[in-house]
Amino acid sequence: VINLGDQIEVITNGKYKSVMHRVIAQSDGTRMSIASFYNPGNDAFISPAPAVLEKKTGDAPTYPKFVFDDYMKLYSGLKFQAKEPRFEAMKA
């Protein structure tokens, strides 16, 4: 299973959606998960990719441009809540 993160949703202007991690574990036996994260530098700007916007002529960015570290600070307080308020907060 591969869960795409919020940054991929923003970069693709919503074409690929991030999802909340969910699991239904079997009652017998053990379960192992290995998480691997790939993040940009803290000073990286995240925004819809120009190439994605150009493919859809006239398609305006759905997501705001933000600095990755600013988003992570917000995310740390809201990570178990819906993602939409996080995106809205970054527009301010």
Q: What is the pLDDT of residue 57?
A: 58
Bridge partners (DSSP) of residue 45 are 67
Model confidence pLDDT, tens digit, residues 2-45: 677 888 999 999 888 887 777 777 788 887 778 788 889 999 99
Report which DSSP code applies to 76: H
Q: How confident is the model at residue 81 (pLDDT cuts 50, 70, 90)?
A: confident
Which pLDDT score, from 0 to 100, does residue 56 have?
Answer: 67
Task: Round to whole Å and give the CA distance between 46 and 40.
Answer: 9
Do residues 6 and 18 touch, judged by C-beta distance below 8 A?
yes
Q: Is the pLDDT at 58 greater than 70, yes or no?
A: no
In terms of phi and psi (left: phi > 0; alpha: psi -120 to 50; beta: otherwise), the region of 83 is alpha
Instruction: Reply yes or no on whether the pLDDT at 1 is more than 70.
Output: no
